[in-house]
Amino acid sequence: MTSPSLLDVELRPGSPPVLRAGFAGDPAAWAAEHRGALRAAVLEHGSLLVRGLGLADADTVAAVAGRLTDRLVAEREAFAPRQPQPGGLFSATPWPANQPMCMHHELSYTLEVPGLMLFACLTAPTAGGATAVADAPTVLEALPADLVARFERDGWMLTRSYNDEIGASVGEAFGTDDRSTVEGYCRANGIEFEWQPDGGLRTRQRRNAVVRHPVTGERCWFNQIAFLNQWTLAEEVREYLVDVYGEDGLPFNTRFGNGDPIGEDVVQVVNEVYEAHTARNPWQAGDLLLVDNIRTAHSREAYEGPRDVLVGIADPTRLAEHAPTA
């Protein structure tokens, strides 16, 4: 079988690039044979939807992921606990089906970020639920220049208040409840921390909002400034959380890197630019979506019916300019 060239990739406005596998056989063997061409297509386009692989179960997805990635990694600093799946995969992040997850780059607040994300659809929803994508260099160019300049100057800050009620607990986020181990991780990863009288943990970490792609050198809008901000939450959810935990005790929120609050207007502008540059293609059972996590943001749209999508977090990358902003 001839490896798919870039000419085999369907490019249509409003859709991620699509490659039709068009085969009947062993998905893992096919992935191994075409690894180079698939990775080249993802590097060129930022994402690639592979249709027709016939991914029917977690073991098959894990075998394919093992052929296409350098290394699958465990999730650290998760904002919501995922369920581990065979072969180093995870379930999709638990999130209410009727609420979208807006555009973001996975774990962009960590110092070692995933270079590649894999999404495999075992069961497609009856409506909605697409994992949509947006090109980070294009988004960066479309954002207001003065806003970009401020984030380039100050960076962005993620604040978290861990509890056992909402989001990931300390143990789920750090893989341990041992305080000294958690503190060691925080010190090694540029995270300020403070234990609360009730035993809870509050953290702050500063990161750069714009980075250069490690291979292409393109400047990318790379962060979760809008996704993890209180103003992206549904109004009733935000009001409830502020009422229960207070502004400073929200499970997660984002600020400018100097600590100034990010207003609702800023979040709205970012999300509107993302929406204007979103590409989507409804899931079909058996699909595989490969996403360059630095070049391309992704989202999850609201949906109806069952939806079973497995996730692979792969190819950890340290970006030289992603260290905490001074």
Question: pLDDT tens, 99-139?
Answer: 888 999 999 999 999 999 999 999 999 998 899 999 999 99
Specify whether 144 is located in the same domain as 177: yes
The reply to whether 4 falls in a domain is: no
Specify whether 119 is located in the same domain as 194: no
Q: What integer pLDDT is reported at residue 14 of this predicted model?
A: 95
Q: What integer pLDDT is reported at residue 108 of this predicted model?
A: 96
CATH of the domain at 205: 3.60.130.10
Tokens of 238: 């935000």
The reply to whether 1 falls in a domain is: no
Distance, in Å, from the CA atom of 175 to the CA atom of 170, rounded to the nearest integer, reads 8
Q: 5 pLDDT exceeds 70?
A: no
Specify whether 174 is located in the same domain as 226: yes
The reply to whether 186 falls in a domain is: yes
Distance, in Å, from the CA atom of 102 to the CA atom of 219, rounded to the nearest integer, reads 21
Specify whether 146 is located in the same domain as 264: yes
DSSP state of 98: T
Specify whether 263 is located in the same domain as 289: no
Specify whether 151 is located in the same domain as 245: yes
User: pLDDT tens for residues 312-326?
Assistant: 999 999 987 666 644
The reply to whether 244 falls in a domain is: yes
Give the contacts of 92 (CB within 8 A, at least 6 positions apart).
Answer: 82, 119, 300, 307, 309, 310, 311
Number of structural domains in the chain: 2
With CA atoms as reference, report the closest residue to 27 among 42, 17, 11, 38.
38
**Long-range Cβ contacts of 215-221 (<8 Å, 24+ apart):** 215/43, 216/43, 216/295, 218/136, 218/137, 218/295, 219/137, 219/140, 220/136, 220/137, 220/140, 220/294, 220/295, 221/136, 221/137, 221/139, 221/140, 221/143, 221/148, 221/297
Distance, in Å, from the CA atom of 287 to the CA atom of 301, rounded to the nearest integer, reads 17
Specify whether 262 is located in the same domain as 158: yes
Specify whether 205 is located in the same domain as 259: yes
The reply to whether 321 falls in a domain is: no
Q: What integer pLDDT is reported at residue 324 of this predicted model?
A: 60
The reply to whether 177 falls in a domain is: yes
Q: What is the mean pLDDT of residues 225-233?
A: 94
Specify whether 170 is located in the same domain as 260: yes
Q: Strand 18-20 to strand 47-51: parallel, antiparallel, or no bridges (unpaired)?
A: parallel
**Total-model pTM:** 0.94
Specify whether 33 is located in the same domain as 125: yes
Residue 180 CB neighbours (<10 A): 8
Specify whether 183 is located in the same domain as 70: no
Q: 28 pLDDT exceeds 80?
A: yes
**281 φ/ψ angles, rounded to the nearest 5 degrees:** -150, 120
CA-based end-to-end distance of the chain: 52
Distance, in Å, from the CA atom of 289 to the CA atom of 20, rounded to the nearest integer, reads 12
The reply to whether 320 falls in a domain is: no
Q: What angle do CA 133, 218, 41 make, to 5 degrees?
A: 55
State the pLDDT confidence band at 6, using cuts at 50, 70 and 90: very low
Residue numbers of the domain that contains 58? 14-75+82-95+114-129+282-314
The reply to whether 319 falls in a domain is: no
3-state secondary structure of 289: strand
Q: Cα 277 from chain centroid?
A: 17
Specify whether 179 is located in the same domain as 263: yes
